[in-house]
Amino acid sequence: MAAQRLITPPKLRRGTLRTVALGGLGEVGRNMTVFEIGGKLLIVDCGVLFPEEEQPGVDLILPDFSYIENRLDDVVGLVLTHGHEDHIGAVPYLLRKKPDIPLIGSTLTLAFIEAKLAEHRIKPYTLEVQEGDVEDFGPFQCEFVAVNHSIPDALAVFIRTEAGTVLHTGDFKMDQLPLDGRITDLRHFAKLGEEGVDLFLTDSTNADVPGFTTPEKEIGPTLDQLFGTSNRRIIVASFSSHVHRVQQVLNAAHAHNRKVAFVGRSMVRNMGIASKLGFLDVPEGILVDMKKVDNYPDSEVVLMSTGSQGEPMAALSRMANGDHPIQVGEGDTVILASSLIPGNENAVFRVINGLLKLGTDVIHKGTAKVHVSGHASAGELLYCYNIVEPKNVMPVHGETRHLIANGKLAEETGVPSDRVILADDGTVVDLHNGVAQIVGQVECGYVYVDGSSIGEITDNDLKDRRVLGEEGFISVVVVVNRQTGKIISGPDIHARGVAEEDQVFKDIKPKISRALTEAIQDNKEHTTHQLQQIVRRTMGSWVARKLRRKPMIVPVVVET
């Protein structure tokens, strides 16, 4: 992988195409790539990353826009390859900075993002495209290619510039029996390969999985069997944008005479849009409002819910905690019809354990075929490399292990190792005279959304939160006389989350008093901050030795 140290890239040469990923490299999510030539910028995708346990309190993680923040007037368009949150979720936060950036995408993708932007009171400029369309955006000419994914209407984009061509796959797989009959257009890929692909940006998420990804249709028989043997309610959890998975649930419910209620605001919104646009085939009379499910016997109800990743506020997590209007219990069947995003494992297992304690049967991909991936496995990627025959390859969308595995596949098909670019977020790659090279690194950190604040929470703040959550909090208040060096009041010590009674601190109080008195007598020029640091060090070393803990210590020294 590229070095993490910051290397200022050179000024962009004339006739050179610059590529900078602001997210999606070394992580599953936050996908965003910026292309630059002739003083203009084209962006492909703008998604979010969901927080892990070591980021307590964080709602979402955005790409770092600082690289382009002062150049938003140069952005000629934002191409959205498909409608999943890890590719469109950060669009509202970018458009807050410049609402008139044109959004380019397919019918369903634009419908999803327009609904999301409406909640942010943003009316976007949009251009709807479909496979085969060719559109010019400043110095970029974009041709769109149909690809199959776990959401309908996904597109790859082929970008022509004076410096060369780029094929960006977005997320894709090569399901030969897709529910909607829309396969990844390998003939189109081959045509573009004959024209010449100078830089191939390929989805890496499943690059370390041998063979071919299982077709979506193979889930159908499993769902049919589970629906046929369950005598009570069935709750299926999936991503709120996974139209194909919801379609399979509707089909199984219809076959077994069950009603379906969508649970979760995003699920209701997205499936309403997909149905209206014809991407979701809803059998007549099958849908019911969540508020009316109690009017039907448990054996005739299916709840299609959000929360498959253990999100604390999602419907399924709240059901597992018993604080949702829908109370699950003995005999109910819960089906987790999704994969585990890396980092979410513990949260999902907590939900599973909570559901099991309530007496439900929990089915997941580890126990039954209730999920297949939406990403191309190694065998499919090999096919693509042989069809496209790219001159340079830059694996995208995945953790480090995925990117490296994808790069090795490219080399196996004949791409020279020095033409395989393994980059990090912020790595600057220039394409010039048919050769792609790393030329620098720009700052590209995490931007945290925490309630109403965006980018105000830092890694140090999160470290403090982890300390508070894991080690507790101790405050020490002391009033001292600056002139005499005597302690007027205190030390008063109060602890929270340390699991010790306050009386345990009686032995440290005289040590704090003595340390402060000696410090003032030795040097009356000590600042209040310096005195507080003396309290912190004295308290901290004692707690570490005596209690074997490292809590957050907040010293307050008041001078009279």
Q: Which residues are catalytic?
A: 203, 375
Phi, psi at 306, each rounded to 5° = -85, 175
The set of long-range contacts for 275-283, using a CB threshold of 8 Å and a minimum separation of 24, is: 277/107, 277/108, 277/111, 279/108, 279/152, 279/153, 279/180, 279/243, 280/243, 280/246, 280/247, 280/250, 281/247, 281/250, 282/250, 283/250, 283/254
Which sign does the torsion angle of CA 82, 202, 245, 290 carry?
Answer: negative
**Strands of 361-363's sheet, edge to edge?**
259-263, 301-305, 234-237, 333-336, 361-363
Annotated binding-site residue? 243: no
Three-state SS for 14-52 is: CCCEEEEEEECECECCCCEEEEEECCEEEEECCCCECCC
Annotated binding-site residue? 242: yes
Annotated binding-site residue? 82: yes
Annotated binding-site residue? 432: no
* Cα(511)–Cα(106) distance, integer angstroms: 69
CB 148 within 8 A of CB 81: no
* Cα(316)–Cα(264) distance, integer angstroms: 9
**Strands of 552-559's sheet, edge to edge?**
487-496, 473-480, 552-559
Annotated binding-site residue? 450: yes
Annotated binding-site residue? 489: no
Closest C-alpha to 33, from 394, 330, 341: 394
Q: How many CA atoms lie within 13 A of 173 on its CB side?
A: 25
- Please name the residue that has the structure tokens 């009041």: 489
Annotated binding-site residue? 343: no
* Cα(447)–Cα(411) distance, integer angstroms: 34
CB 68 within 8 A of CB 75: yes
Annotated binding-site residue? 149: yes
Helix axes 243-255, 219-229, angle to 10 degrees: 40
Tell me, what amino acid is at 501?
Answer: E
Rg over alpha carbons for the chain, rounded to the nearest Å, is 28
The strand pairing partners of 121, in sequence order, are none
Annotated binding-site residue? 57: yes
Annotated binding-site residue? 375: yes
Annotated binding-site residue? 397: yes
Annotated binding-site residue? 371: yes
The strand pairing partners of 201, in sequence order, are 168, 394
Q: How far is CA 245 from the centre of its chain?
A: 20
Annotated binding-site residue? 374: yes
The residue ranges of DSSP E strands in 345-486, in sequence order, are: 361-363, 392-396, 427-432, 435-441, 447-450, 453-454, 473-480
- Please name the residue that has the structure tokens 């290397």: 7
Question: Which residue ranges are tagged as binding site for Zn(2+)?
Answer: 82, 84, 86-87, 149, 171, 397
Question: Which residue ranges are tagged as binding site for Ca(2+)?
Answer: 57, 59, 450
Question: Which residue ranges are tagged as binding site?
Answer: 57, 59, 82, 84, 86-87, 149, 171, 240-242, 371-375, 397, 450
Question: Which residue ranges are tagged as binding site for substrate?
Answer: 240-242, 371-375
